[in-house]
Amino acid sequence: MKSFKGKVAVVTGGGGTGIGNALVRAFASEGAHVAYCDIANLNKTEKDIEAFGVKKYAEHVDIADKEAIKRFADNVLKEFGHIDVLINNAGIATGDISFDKVTEADFERITNINYWGVIRTTQAFYHHLLTRPEAAIANISSTQGILAAPYLVSYCTTKFAVRGFTDSLRVENQVRGIKNLSIHTVHPGAVATNITLAADHQGPRSQHFHKVLQEKGASPAEAAKIILKGIRKNKSRIFISDGRAQDIMARLFPSSLHKIIGLMMKMQGAEIT
């Protein structure tokens, strides 16, 4: 997809202040019409894109609710007649918590949002996207979908799953000769958002993780720019900030990762409990 001008882009988790909000702004600034949903307030994003003069549709949706996803997809298609790009961005982190303390309810909650939300939203638009002359789906995994991290077991599990789903769908499409729908797996490293502070469980490392994101992370606007560029250039895997470095580390040192991660945490002053 060479240009987004005049296209219709859908972004889940497009309200709020994070990567989703920046994606909606980036698409609108390039002349794309935008549809977005969020469980959070939608007003900020609406104000942010006012000046671009593109068409917009916004709906309050809990992405864990499969009926709400179907309704959203129907409403978007009714509003615009078609869509061209889907970005599955909505996501949460369980927070700083070791596996012995994570409950089944914690696992279910994050899986319903981060994993089932992506699958169901993709299913809701997939058949339609196959009919478009040129279309794209980008799913936001994480570097924690490549490199396992401690105290984030449930988060990593969902992000590995999103990577598996997205990579499998891309290969299937490619083998089937489907050329009009590109599928992209996005692996952000650190991005300076409030995802850590918004997590259900705050632990001794939460402030540290949050600080790392703010100090070392790309801005949400930079992240959105890289994602749009990756789609334009038809990159299968899109890396943000230290995403590429973490990918290389996971490949080079699969058996000694725990030592490197433990050492890095100690050097950064993060408590190991």
Ligand X SMILES: NC(=O)c1ccc[n+]([C@@H]2O[C@H](COP(=O)([O-])OP(=O)(O)OC[C@H]3O[C@@H](n4cnc5c(N)ncnc54)[C@H](O)[C@@H]3O)[C@@H](O)[C@H]2O)c1
Of 180 and 219, the one with the shorter C-beta distance to ligand X is 219
Q: How far is the CB of 269 from ligand X (least distance, A)?
A: 19
Task: Based on the shown chain and the rule CB under 6 A, indicate whether residue 87 belongs to the binding site for ligand X.
Answer: no
| Measured distance CA(122)–CA(12) in Å, rounded | 11
Q: How far is the CB of 196 from ligand X (least distance, A)?
A: 8
The vertex-229 CA angle with 227 and 230, nearest 5°, equals 65
Rounded to whole angstroms, the maximal C-alpha distance in the chain is 54
Q: Which amino acid is at 71?
A: R
Task: Based on the shown chain and the rule CB under 6 A, indicate whether residue 90 belongs to the binding site for ligand X.
Answer: yes
Of 119 and 198, the one with the shorter C-beta distance to ligand X is 198
Among 9, 16, 206, 246, binds ligand X (CB under 6 A): 16
Task: Based on the shown chain and the rule CB under 6 A, indicate whether residue 91 belongs to the binding site for ligand X.
Answer: yes
Neighbours of 243 (CB within 10 A): 26
Annotated active-site residue 151? The verdict is no
Q: How far is the CB of 23 from ligand X (least distance, A)?
A: 9
Task: Based on the shown chain and the rule CB under 6 A, indicate whether residue 194 belongs to the binding site for ligand X.
Answer: yes
Among 49, 76, 135, 213, binds ligand X (CB under 6 A): 213
Of 124 and 190, the one with the shorter C-beta distance to ligand X is 190
The vertex-221 CA angle with 121 and 225, nearest 5°, equals 75
Residues 132-161 close enough to bind ligand X by CB under 6 A: 140, 142
Residues 52-81 close enough to bind ligand X by CB under 6 A: 61-64
SS3 at position 86 = strand
Per residue, what are the HEC states of 126-192? HHHHHCCCCEEEEEECCHHHCCCCCCCHHHHHHHHHHHHHHHHHHHHHHHCCCCCEEEEEEEECCEC
Sites of contact with ligand X (CB under 6 A): 13, 15-20, 38-40, 61-64, 89-92, 113, 140, 142, 188, 190-191, 193-195, 198, 213, 217
The catalytic site residues sit at 155
